[in-house]
Amino acid sequence: MAGIRRLKEKLINAVLIFLLAVVFLVVSYISYQSLLRIDTDEAWVIHSYQVSTNIGVLLSDLENMETSDRGYIIAGQDIFLEPYNTALPKIYPEFQSLQELTKDNSAEQQRLSLMKPLIDERLAEFQTNLALRRDKGLDAAIAAVSAGTGKETMDAIRTIVADMQTDEASLLQARTQDLTQVNHSMESTIVWGAIIGLLLYLLVNYVISKFVMGNLVEKPLLERERQALFYARSLIEASLDPLVTISPEGKITDVNEAVTKVTEVPRGELIGTDFSEYFTEPQKARDGYEQAFKFGTVTDYPLTIKSKTGRLTDVLYNASVYKNEEDKILGVFAAARDYTLAKKAMEETAKANKEMEAFSYSVSHDLRAPLRAIDGFTQILVEDYGAKLDDEGRRVASIIRASTVQMGHLIDDLLSFSRLGRQEVKKSPVDMRSLVGEVYAEIKKSVPARKIDFTVKELPSANADVNMMRVVWTNLLSNAVKFTGKKENAIIEVGSTSDNNEITYYVKDNGAGFDMKYMDKLFGVFQRLHSVEEFEGTGVGLANVKRVVERHGGRAWAEAKVGEGATFYFTLPKA
Amino acid sequence: MENNTNINEVDVLMVEDSPNDAELIARALSKLNIANKIFWVKDGAEALEFVFCTGKYAARNAVTYPKVILLDLKLPKVNGLEVLAKIKTDERTRAIPVVIVTSSQEDKDLKEAYKLGANSYIVKPIDAENFVKALSEAGLYWLAINKPPIIKL
């Protein structure tokens, strides 16, 4: 199919170019012919001039001879014969060449043939006269001349010559006219030829570009474009997310199938209407796309679509502006993502968190009261009945009291651990350096007597929840302080390293350390690697650290050597 | 613990639902060598009746007021914050110093109590020793150092 079309196009192409060539050839041919005619005409013009001139020369030679002849007759001196002698040998050759020249002209040939005998006669007469003068003298010659027909002959020759001249003149005129005509016609031929040629060239060009080229290039291009357009459109229609384009005036300019489904409004009725009409909060919708126009994009913008029958759909909108080739904003392209499930999940999580909160509150409150009673009344026992107790009795009482205190700590720690898990992570730039200083100062206050070599190295600020970071540093630093408690010269160092993606902070101490084989347990809730007698604590501190750090997208780990110290690391992502 | 104080001669109104806590508080205060007649009510409703001389305490002389009210938050019937609100919004009673004594360390309770006009907020320490110490110090302050308002009816 395409092949035949191509052939047709090639044929048309060829024909048109052929026509152009033909025009060119025709013009060339006509021009050539005209040139030839001009040549010929020019030749004939020259010819006429030549004939005319030659006739003139012949006549003048004859007249010279006559004059010379008469002169000799009168004077009788040879000097007068010079012109006669010069001219005489020329007469017949001139006559012959005339004959030659006028070969084509029968009229002229006739005249010449009439002229010949006359010339012969005159020349003879000249001879006779000359001889008479020479021989017989002046009087005899004059008598011969007066009696002779010389003058009549000469007149007759003159008449013929005049006729011939007239003839040639009219021939010349005719030929000159013809020459002019040919010149003109050639000029106009060339001009017209050029015009026609140019027009034909333009025509060929036009035809080629419109039909031939169009056929060759446009049709397949259109086909490909159509296919691409169809593909793009089918994707848009296939999308399950409602997709819509909004004009700068806030009117819907295009929708896909999903939009008609979620709004229960047919496509035709949607186009041209206000985008905000289809939401439970129209102003919020308007604010949304205005934001998109202003900032270029808007992401995860929550709205609720209201269908014709009142059915509500919670969605999140992602929208961005789109532009034409001149970078002018044409509108906003908005895609809605069904948010119902996510919203429900979030609501349930919030609800669960609230319940946890209430639960923790009452648990902590209700658990503490009896603890206090145990502690308090044991104390009363010791105070009021201490005299009746022996050492053992008092020891038992103190164990009871210590246990209740321990339980109190556990409750506190559990509560804070749970709260940290539920709390929202509120990120902001945190000056880690000053935070560490603050926390350490607070810890040091509770152990004023201790001598600790505390250094803080480079600590870049982090993007994190400042309260949670306080918990992390409090736990790590108080651990370092606690576990170096038995060392004479406690050394604690805080520093960091960083790479492209994250910052690694560390707290290094030269304290008790731990056996690396228990590393996994280290960060577990209530997991301890030492007894309460060795080092007090509930074992929830590191679990808190791990939880906080993981909620920020980082990790926590440690390295240690028993008796030599430990280094605790945690990372925070840079973004 | 028995209430053997004359309802018209009360220095400290203790609003506490836990008998153990009540006993500990009373014990702490009694160790102070200052006059401190304690009256104990076990729930919020009774506390309000006492303060406003209604119900069970209709016979109480409205002219006299305790020097300080020690108020727990977790109370049956009417909870502590409600009692606080009622005391602090009533012209007649808003001047009475109210010291919240509770085990709750929750931020929201703290904020709300001060917002409603609590004069002080004490968290019951876990261990009794500190508990007794705190109450003694608080008692000393509110009963000896602090000048009670002259409440006119």
Q: Give the pLDDT confidence of A51-60 residue by residue, as tens digits.
A: 888 888 888 8
Give me A386's structure tokens: 């201490």
How far apart (Å, rounded) are the C-alpha atoms in residues A551 and A558?
Answer: 18
pLDDT at B152 over 70: no
Q: B6 in a domain, yes or no? A: no
A interface mutation test: which of B112, B122, B126 has the most A CBs within 10 A? B126
* pLDDT confidence bin for A459, thresholds 50/70/90: very high
The pLDDT of A513-520, averaged and rounded, is 84
pLDDT, position A536? 64
How far apart (Å, rounded) are the C-alpha atoms in residues A541 and A474?
Answer: 9
Q: CB of B21 within 8 Å of any CB in chain A?
A: yes
Which chain B residues are closer than 8 Å to A422 by Cβ?
Answer: none
pLDDT at A575 over 70: no
CB-based contact B103 A372, cutoff 8 Å: yes
How far apart (Å, rounded) are the C-alpha atoms in residues A225 and A232?
Answer: 11
Q: Which residue has the higher pLDDT, A82 or A476?
A: A476
CB-based contact B128 A376, cutoff 8 Å: yes
DSSP letter string, B107-139: HHHHHHHHHHT-SEEEEPPSSHHHHHHHHHHHH
Is the Cβ–Cβ distance between A102 and A48 less than 8 Å? Answer: no
Distance from CA of B138 to the nearest CA of A (A): 18
CB-based contact A372 B104, cutoff 8 Å: no
* pLDDT confidence bin for A380, thresholds 50/70/90: confident
CB-based contact A371 B126, cutoff 8 Å: yes
How far apart (Å, rounded) are the C-alpha atoms in residues A430 and A462?
Answer: 5
Q: Whole-prediction pTM value?
A: 0.46
Q: B147 in a domain, yes or no? A: no
Distance from CA of B60 to the nearest CA of A (A): 32
Which chain B residues are closer than 8 Å to A538 by Cβ?
Answer: none
* Amino acid letter, A240: L
Range list of H helices, A76-149: 82-101, 106-136, 138-147
Q: B80 in a domain, yes or no? A: yes
Is the Cβ–Cβ distance between A538 and A410 less than 8 Å? Answer: yes
pLDDT, position B111? 94
Average pLDDT over chain B reads 88
pLDDT, position A440? 93
Distance from CA of B43 to the nearest CA of A (A): 16
CB-based contact B126 A372, cutoff 8 Å: yes
Q: Give the pLDDT confidence of A249-264 residue by residue, as tens digits.
A: 889 999 999 999 999 9
How far apart (Å, rounded) are the C-alpha atoms in residues A481 and A490?
Answer: 8
pLDDT at A1 over 70: no
Is the Cβ–Cβ distance between A277 and A298 less than 8 Å? Answer: no
* pLDDT confidence bin for A538, thresholds 50/70/90: low
CB-based contact B129 A377, cutoff 8 Å: no
- Tally of structural domains, chain B: 1
**CB within 8 Å of chain A, chain B residues 122-151:** 124-129, 131-132
CB-based contact A408 B20, cutoff 8 Å: no
Helices B80-89 and B44-52 meet at what angle, rounded to 10?
Answer: 20
Which chain A residues are closer than 8 Å to B130 by Cβ?
Answer: none
Is the Cβ–Cβ distance between A233 and A256 less than 8 Å? Answer: no
Which of B20, B126, B132 is the closest to A408 by Cβ? Answer: B126
Q: B149 in a domain, yes or no? A: no
Taking CA atoms, what residue in B is nearest to A403?
Answer: B127
| Least-confidence region, from A215-219, B94-98, B139-143 | A215-219
Is the Cβ–Cβ distance between A317 and A298 less than 8 Å? Answer: yes
Which of A368, A378, A380 is the closest to B126 by Cβ? Answer: A368
B133: left (phi over 0), alpha (psi -120 to 50) or beta: alpha
* pLDDT confidence bin for A205, thresholds 50/70/90: confident
How far apart (Å, rounded) are the C-alpha atoms in residues A338 and A32?
Answer: 86
- Using the structure block, give the residue that is written with the tokens 């002046």: A138
Number of neighbouring beta carbons within 10 Å of residue A211 = 15
Which chain A residues are closer than 8 Å to B27 by Cβ?
Answer: 380
Is the Cβ–Cβ distance between B1 and B23 less than 8 Å? Answer: yes
pLDDT, position A92? 87
The pLDDT of A28-33, averaged and rounded, is 80
Which chain A residues are closer than 8 Å to B76 by Cβ?
Answer: none
Is the Cβ–Cβ distance between A119 and A62 less than 8 Å? Answer: yes
- Using the structure block, give the residue that is written with the tokens 């056996």: A515
pLDDT, position B35? 64
CB-based contact B127 A401, cutoff 8 Å: yes
Is the Cβ–Cβ distance between A299 and A339 less than 8 Å? Answer: no
Q: Give the pLDDT confidence of A104-148 residue by residue, as tens digits.
A: 888 888 888 888 888 888 888 888 888 888 888 888 878 877 777
CB-based contact A361 B106, cutoff 8 Å: yes
A452-456 vs A490-498, strand pairing mode: parallel
Is the Cβ–Cβ distance between A263 and A304 less than 8 Å? Answer: no
pLDDT, position A537? 67
The pLDDT of B92-98, averaged and rounded, is 91
CB-based contact B127 A373, cutoff 8 Å: no
Give me A236's structure tokens: 């848009």
Which of A364, A373, A412 is the closest to B20 by Cβ? Answer: A373
Which of A377, A405, A412 is the closest to B127 by Cβ? Answer: A405
Is the Cβ–Cβ distance between B99 and B118 less than 8 Å? Answer: yes
* Long-range Cβ pairs for the range B30-35 (8 Å, 24+): B31/B132, B31/B136, B32/B136, B32/B139, B32/B140, B32/B143, B32/B144, B34/B139, B34/B140, B34/B143, B34/B144, B35/B11, B35/B143
Find all residues with CB under 8 Å of A368, minimum gap 6, and list them.
Answer: A408, A411, B103, B124, B126
Q: Give the pLDDT confidence of A215-249 residue by residue, as tens digits.
A: 555 566 788 888 999 999 999 999 999 999 999 88
pLDDT, position A166? 85
CB-based contact B103 A368, cutoff 8 Å: yes
Backbone angles phi, psi at B78, to 5 degrees: -120, 125
Q: Give the pLDDT confidence of B42-63 residue by residue, as tens digits.
A: 999 999 999 999 999 999 988 8
How far apart (Å, rounded) are the C-alpha atoms in residues A182 and A456?
Answer: 112
CB-based contact B129 A368, cutoff 8 Å: no
Which chain A residues are closer than 8 Å to B103 by Cβ?
Answer: 364-365, 368-369, 372
Give me A185's structure tokens: 């016609």
A243-246 vs A329-338, strand pairing mode: antiparallel
Q: Which helix (H) or strand (E) holds A573?
A: strand A565-573
Q: Exposed, middle or buried: residue A312 (CB in 10 Å: 0-12, 13-18, 19+)?
A: exposed
- Under an 8 Å CB criterion, which residues of A touch B? 361, 364-365, 368-373, 375-380, 401, 404-405, 408-409, 412
How far apart (Å, rounded) are the C-alpha atoms in residues B71 and B45?
Answer: 12
Q: CB of B74 within 8 Å of any CB in chain A?
A: yes
Which chain A residues are closer than 8 Å to B124 by Cβ?
Answer: 368, 372
pLDDT at A399 over 70: yes
Q: CB of B18 within 8 Å of any CB in chain A?
A: yes
Backbone angles phi, psi at A394, to 5 degrees: -65, -35
Q: CATH number of the domain that B60 lies in?
A: 3.40.50.2300
Which of A365, A376, A412 is the closest to B104 by Cβ? Answer: A365
How far apart (Å, rounded) are the C-alpha atoms in residues A323 and A221?
Answer: 24
CB-based contact B127 A368, cutoff 8 Å: no
Residue B117 belongs to domain spanning: 12-136
pLDDT at A213 over 90: no
How far apart (Å, rounded) are the C-alpha atoms in residues B38 and B4?
Answer: 9
Q: B60 in a domain, yes or no? A: yes
Encode A477-520 in three state secondary structure. Answer: HHHHHHHCCCCCCEEEEEEEEECCCEEEEEEEECCCCCCHHHHH
Q: B102 in a domain, yes or no? A: yes
Q: B141 in a domain, yes or no? A: no
Q: How many CA atoms lie within 13 A of A171 on its CB side?
A: 23
Taking CA atoms, what residue in A is nearest to B102?
Answer: A365
CA max distance for chain B: 41
Helices A391-422 and A340-385 meet at what angle, rounded to 10?
Answer: 170
Of A566, A351, A551, A361, nearest to A471 by C-alpha is A551
Distance from CA of A411 to the nearest CA of B (A): 10
Distance from CA of A323 to the nearest CA of B (A): 51
pLDDT, position B51? 94
Which of B20, B105, B106 is the closest to A372 by Cβ? Answer: B20
